Amino acid sequence: MERPEYEPLAEIEVDAASPSHQGFTLMGQGLDHAEYQLDLRFEMPLDQRTRTVLGELLSHSDLTISRRTPGGLAAALRQRRPPNRASQR
């Protein structure tokens, strides 16, 4: 089976990783000079040492956020649908 293609939406250099109740809030600037925020949550409690180490690692990271390219399953389903008759009048 062919793997879906993904297109990058934003490349972000993380400037800060702030601890939150269940994870971290990462903040940084993208190559497009826009400010970004990403909330990262864990489904398990983190002890203080793990939280400190993760915070340090995440604050020196870069993120690439991608999405599936248009034209996947949704486009194939739209092509199979009959044309809208209202627009043909």
Please state whether the predicted TM-score (pTM) of the whole model is above 0.85.
no
Cβ(12)–Cβ(72) below 8 Å: no
Share of the chain above pLDDT 70, in %: 74
Domain boundaries, the chain: 6-83
Give the pLDDT mean for 19-47.
93
d(CA 39, CA 60) in angstroms, rounded, equals: 16
Q: Would you say the C-alpha torsion 45, 48, 54, 59 has a positive or negative sign? A: positive
pLDDT digits (tens, 9 = 90+) for 46-84: 999 999 999 999 999 999 999 987 765 555 566 666 666
What pLDDT score was predicted for residue 61?
94
**87: pLDDT strictly greater than 80:** no
Task: List C-alpha distances in Å: 30 to 15, 16, 75.
Answer: 10, 13, 29
